[in-house]
Structure 1
Amino acid sequence: MIYLILNAKKEGKIMQLRKGHPALLDRREEKEIKVYNLLEQLKIPYEQADHEAASTMEACERVDELMQVTMCKNLFLCNRQQTDFYLLLMPGNKKFKTKDLSKQIGSARLSFAGPEFMEKFLNISPGSVSVLGLMNDLENRVQLLVDEEVLEDEFIGCHPCVNTSSLKLLTKDLTERFLPAVHHEMKIVHLPNPEEE
Structure 2
Amino acid sequence: MQLQNGRPENTDGRLDKEIRVYDFLDKLGVEYQRVDHEAAMTMEACEAIDRVLGDDTAICKNLFLCNRQETDFYLLLMPGDKPFKTKNLSAQIGSARLSFAKPEYMEKYLDITPGSVSVLGLMNDHEKKVQLLIDEDVLKDPYFGCHPCINTSSLKFSTKDFTDKIIPALDHPPITVKFPLPEEQA
The offset of 1:57, in angstroms, is 3.2
Which position in structure 2 is the counterpart of 1:49? 35
Taking only the aligned residue pairs, the percentage that are identical comes to 63
Instruction: Find the partner of 2:100 among 104, 107, 112.
Output: 112
Gapped regions of structure 1 (runs ≥ 5): 1-14
Alpha-carbon distance in structure 1 between the residues aligned to 2:68 and 2:44: 29
Q: Taking structure 1 as the reference length, what is the TM-score of the superposition?
A: 0.91
Q: Which amino acid aligns with 1:184?
A: H
The aligned residue for residue 84 of structure 2 is 96
Where does residue 130 of structure 2 map in the other structure? 142
Aligned partner of 1:27 in structure 2 is 13
SS in 1 for 2:132: strand
Moved >2 Å (runs of 4+):
55-58
Question: Gapped runs of 5+ residues in structure 2?
Answer: none
Q: Tell me what 2:23 maps to.
A: 37
Distance in 1 (alpha carbons) for counterparts of 2:180 and 2:135: 9
Number of positions where the alignment pairs a residue of Structure 1 with one of Structure 2: 183
Determine if contact 1:20/1:45 at 8 Å carries over to the other structure: yes
Match of 2:53 among 47, 57, 67: 67
Q: 1:127 aligned to 115, 127, 135, which one? A: 115
Q: Is the 8 A contact 2:135 2:176 kept in 1?
A: yes
2:141: which partner in 1?
A: 153
Q: CA deviation at 1:56?
A: 3.4
Q: Is this contact kept in 2: 1:56–1:127, CA < 8 A?
A: no
Higher relative contact order (CA 8 A, sep 6+): 2
User: For 2:123, what is the secondary structure of its paired residue?
Assistant: helix
- What RMSD in Å do the two structures reach over aligned CA positions? 0.9
